[in-house]
């Protein structure tokens, strides 16, 4: 196991170093600046930056002191900007090639300045956009919905990723928004925590302030399962939130089923949990599970509505394109698979780079009709 982890880290760092070298070579080539003797300060800076996110991630798994949090945040921000700079470098060569092919006399330095400038602007916008949590409102009609639920509102919160980048103040802001929105029930679909070393009870404490009449419920996501996830579940439970441990509860006639992420990964195991929950197909049901995978299993077990997160909508390009290839139409929003309705939230927080471009952080209000 240790050997596999080391191999994985070496592969990831090699990719990061090679991609940083590519961006550096593109910049210096297109800028056509004289090559100083020896290793330039820019080359040293790029080499150092290439190792920041991996080293910060390793440190963040074990330490939560302020210097580590600051280093991790800075490394995550750089990784986001670098993603855009890498795309700008690729685009620079494409534009240069097309200009040569079409006999356009575009100066190389103008091409790289324009594209890298656009990358910088995209990164800055992505940071500010990630700080604006929106409220998304949807309505659903479920067969056999108890009459007491008509007109009621559920708030869905996913992927806050509390940790080194977003901490207690972010949790307080989300809780304050929920208090103003005044939903009847709050459903938290995993990845409340980022998986870094944190004071889990302190980060969960703001949830004490939620006073949803029908309660607040939680299931674990994949980031809670990076290590011993019992500490996270304990912290959440002590904050007054009900943890659904692969079980069904009936909330004023509505069946609510919660399945932790690691128990939903294998389809047959997932199916077994749903069957043991004894979901009544003659009564509306809501399944809370972290990721929108194995949807045919939920459909076959007669679940009415599945609520998930996990995808983040990809956060920003090109990851928005990649996640849409993986999850198809279920990457974000309200979709249908047979009789099963599925809502996938792109989440309230971020993982890695605190940026969003092409996606918006959200709290979802679901009105039952």
- No. of H helices and E strands in the chain? 11, 12
Beta strands, E only, the chain: 134-140, 153-157, 185-188, 216-218, 242-243, 247-251, 254-259, 285-289, 305-308, 333-337, 340-344, 362-368
Q: What is the rounded CA–CA span in Å between residue 186 and residue 153?
A: 9
Tell me the pTM: 0.92
Assess whether pLDDT exceeds 70 at residue 36: no
- What is the three-class DSSP state of 170? helix
Assess whether pLDDT exceeds 70 at residue 35: no
- What is the three-class DSSP state of 141? coil
* Residue 317, Ramachandran bin (φ over 0: left; ψ between -120 and 50: alpha; else beta): beta
- Position 257 scores a pLDDT of 98
| 68-105 pLDDT tens trace | 999 999 999 999 999 999 999 999 999 999 998 888 88
Cα-flanking dihedrals φ and ψ of residue 255, to 5°? Answer: -80, 125
| 345-369 pLDDT tens trace | 999 999 999 999 999 999 999 999 9
Domains of the chain: residue spans and CATH: 2-130 (no CATH), 134-368 (3.60.21.10)
Average pLDDT, the chain: 94
């Amino acid at each position: 196991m240790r050997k596999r982890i080391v191999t994985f880290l070496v592969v990831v760092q090699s990719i990061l170093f090679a991609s940083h070298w590519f961006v550096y070579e593109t910049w210096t080539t297109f800028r056509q600046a004289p090559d100083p003797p020896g290793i330039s300060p820019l080359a040293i800076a790029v080499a150092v930056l290439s190792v920041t996110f991996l080293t910060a991630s390793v440190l963040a798994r074990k330490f939560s002191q302020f210097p580590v949090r600051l280093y991790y945040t800075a490394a995550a921000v750089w990784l986001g900007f670098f993603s855009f700079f890498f795309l700008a470098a690729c685009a620079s060569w494409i534009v240069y090639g097309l200009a040569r092919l079409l006999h356009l006399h575009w100066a190389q330095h103008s091409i790289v300045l324009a594209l890298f400038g656009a990358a910088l602007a995209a990164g800055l916008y992505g940071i500010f956009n990630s700080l604006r949590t929106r409220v998304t409102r949807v309505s659903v009609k479920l067969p056999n919905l108890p009459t007491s639920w008509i007109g009621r509102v559920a708030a869905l919160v996913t992927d806050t990723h509390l940790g080194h980048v977003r901490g207690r103040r972010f949790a307080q802001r989300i809780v304050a928004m929920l208090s103003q929105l005044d939903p009847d029930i709050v459903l938290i679909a995993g990845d409340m925590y980022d998986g870094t070393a944190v004071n889990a009870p302190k980060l969960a404490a703001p949830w004490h302030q939620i006073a949803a009449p029908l309660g607040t419920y939680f299931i674990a996501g994949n980031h809670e399962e990076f290590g011993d996830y019992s500490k996270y579940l304990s912290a959440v439970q002590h904050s007054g939130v009900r943890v659904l441990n692969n079980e069904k509860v009936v909330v004023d006639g509505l069946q609510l089923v919660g399945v932790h992420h690691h128990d939903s990964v294998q389809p047959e195991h997932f199916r077994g949990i749903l069957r043991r929950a004894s979901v009544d197909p003659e009564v509306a049901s809501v399944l809370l599970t972290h990721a929108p995978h194995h949807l045919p299993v939920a459909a076959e077990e007669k679940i009415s509505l599945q609520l998930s997160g996990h995808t983040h909508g990809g956060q920003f390009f090109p990851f928005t394109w990649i996640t849409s290839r993986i999850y198809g139409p279920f990457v974000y929003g309200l979709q249908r698979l047979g009789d099963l309705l599925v809502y996938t939230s792109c989440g309230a927080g971020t993982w890695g780079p605190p940026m969003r471009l092409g996606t918006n952080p959200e709290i979802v209000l679901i009105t039952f009709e």
